[in-house]
Amino acid sequence: MAMNDPLGDMLTRIRNAQMRRRPKVTSPASNLRTRVLDVLTEEGYIRGYTRVDHKNGMSELEIELKYLNGQPAIKEISRVSKPGRRVYSPLRDLPTVANGLGLSILSTPKGVMSDTRAREEQVGGEVLCSVF
């Protein structure tokens, strides 16, 4: 079966695994997913991830989830820009999540980055997801 929204699938896997208090979750590998996981790692929402290459040529990302006092570090993660409705934001209209306590992940001409870094780089782009 074809997957229309690979990033949305990864976010749903993370959400479901955290509801079940799983330490790790796997997702098929892609460059976009890797870049989003880089942002989540550097912002401290996940412990990290590793790329696992299988013999059949397929690759998976093994994502280590983070918990603080038994509660997931990610309280809410949602897809903003979807395949059926893309959401773009110029620099002056970049969204803030939970009054700055959360973050938005953007795909910009300078790469995938958090909203705070996009403000520093003075660039807007497609709002991929929001994390709180």
Q: How far apart are CA 81 and CA 83, in angstroms?
A: 7
- Contact of 37 with 63, CB cutoff 8 Å: yes
Alpha-carbon distance values, 38 to 33, 34, 112, 125 (Å): 9, 6, 9, 18
Write the CATH number for 120: 3.30.1490.10
Average pLDDT over residues 11-17: 97
Write the pLDDT tens digit of every residue in 53-103.
Answer: 999 999 999 999 999 999 999 999 999 999 999 999 999 999 889 998 999
90 domain-assigned: yes
> What is the rounded average pLDDT for all residues in the chain?
95
1 domain-assigned: no
**Structural domain harbouring 104:** 6-131
Average pLDDT over residues 37-63: 96
Backbone Cα Rg of the chain: 15
pLDDT of residue 1: 46
Could you count the other beta carbons within 10 Å of the beta carbon of residue 29? 19
Name the token pair of 102. 């959360």
pLDDT of residue 15: 97
Q: 31-42 and 6-19 helices cross at what angle (nearest 10)?
A: 40
Q: In total, how many domains does the chain have?
A: 1
Within the chain, what is the greatest distance between any pair of CA atoms?
A: 47
